[in-house]
């Protein structure tokens, strides 16, 4: 049986991808990841925690942005829980800190403001709705594309919020926009 597959716009359609391609940017290594995904450093890198703000402040604003070890992240405070992830959407680099949070299949997701992709706050999985073309009357189901957005760890100590970057060596799609030539440190840009 052939399983239905999600339809995704090509990565090259993003404005950031076009901008970098026009500069002739190629694959380069930054930190422990290769942008072309051709190789992975088998070692885990450990990052120190970085204080990004006060608990009182994020509880009011419900989100904040920060640069942690040269990586731009967004931190959400949603329904009593903290979540941190790469700020640029894995699809084409959209600004996730400007998206809305909605529940899909009972899972809180950030909805990217550019093309409305849904990313779970807890795990960074991209979600899509699947239908069975052989049974079009069946209700579409929310399914996972796998982990696409890199998730980081948030801790609270003495009223301060700390972010520890993910040390997982596996490649996330969002690494593409968080490292090397593709990195954009401009939280307010759309
Ligand atoms: S950039 Fe396309 S959905 Fe986020």
Quote the ligand 1 centre to 109 CA distance (angstroms): 13
* Test site for ligand 1: of 12, 88, 92, 99, most ligand atoms within 8 A of the Cβ: 92
Question: Is residue 82 within 8 Å of 156, Cβ to Cβ?
Answer: yes
Q: pTM for the complete prediction?
A: 0.74
Confirm whether 16 is domain-assigned. Answer: no
Q: Is 187 helix (H, G, I), strand (E, B) or coil?
A: coil
Which residues partner with 124 through β-bridges? none
Q: Does the beta carbon of 114 sit less than 6 angstroms from any atom of ligand 1?
A: yes
The residue ranking higher by pLDDT, 80 or 140, is 80
- Structural domain including 159 reads 48-175
Confirm whether 154 is domain-assigned. Answer: yes
* Test site for ligand 1: of 6, 16, 91, 178, most ligand atoms within 8 A of the Cβ: 91
Confirm whether 185 is domain-assigned. Answer: no
Confirm whether 182 is domain-assigned. Answer: no
Q: How many domains does the chain have?
A: 1
Report the pLDDT value the prediction gives residue 176, as an integer from 0 to 100.
92
Closest residue by CA, ligand 1 atom 3: 115
- Our CA angle for 68, 72, 75, nearest 5°, is 85
Q: Is 134 helix (H, G, I), strand (E, B) or coil?
A: coil
User: What φ, ψ does residue 103 adopt, rounded to 5°?
Assistant: -90, 135
Instruction: Say if residue 84's pLDDT is above 50.
Output: yes
pLDDT tens, 34-82?
333 344 454 556 889 999 999 999 999 999 999 999 999 999 999 999 9
pLDDT tens, 97-136?
999 999 999 999 999 999 999 999 999 999 999 988 888 7
Of the candidates 116, 77, 79, the residue with the CA atom closest to the CA atom of residue 99: 116
Instruction: Say if residue 11's pLDDT is above 50.
Output: no
Q: Is 32 helix (H, G, I), strand (E, B) or coil?
A: coil
């Amino acid at each position: 049986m052939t399983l239905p597959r999600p339809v995704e716009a090509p990565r090259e359609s993003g404005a950031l991808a076009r901008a970098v391609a026009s500069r002739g940017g190629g694959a380069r290594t930054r930190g422990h990841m290769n942008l072309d995904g051709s190789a992975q450093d088998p070692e885990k890198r450990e990052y120190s925690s970085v204080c990004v703000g006060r608990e009182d402040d994020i509880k009011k604003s419900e989100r904040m942005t920060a640069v942690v070890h040269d990586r731009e992240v967004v931190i959400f405070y949603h329904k009593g829980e903290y979540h941190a992830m790469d700020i640029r959407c894995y699809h084409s680099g959209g600004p996730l800190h400007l998206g809305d949070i909605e529940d899909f299949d009972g899972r809180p997701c950030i909805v990217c403001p550019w093309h409305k992709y849904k990313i779970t706050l807890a795990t960074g999985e991209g979600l899509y709705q699947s239908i069975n073309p052989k049974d079009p009357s069946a209700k579409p189901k929310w399914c996972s594309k796998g982990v696409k957005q890199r998730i980081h760890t948030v801790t609270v100590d003495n009223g301060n919020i700390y972010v520890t970057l993910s040390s997982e060596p596996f490649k996330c799609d969002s690494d593409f926009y968080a490292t090397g030539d593709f990195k954009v440190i401009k939280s307010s840009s759309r």
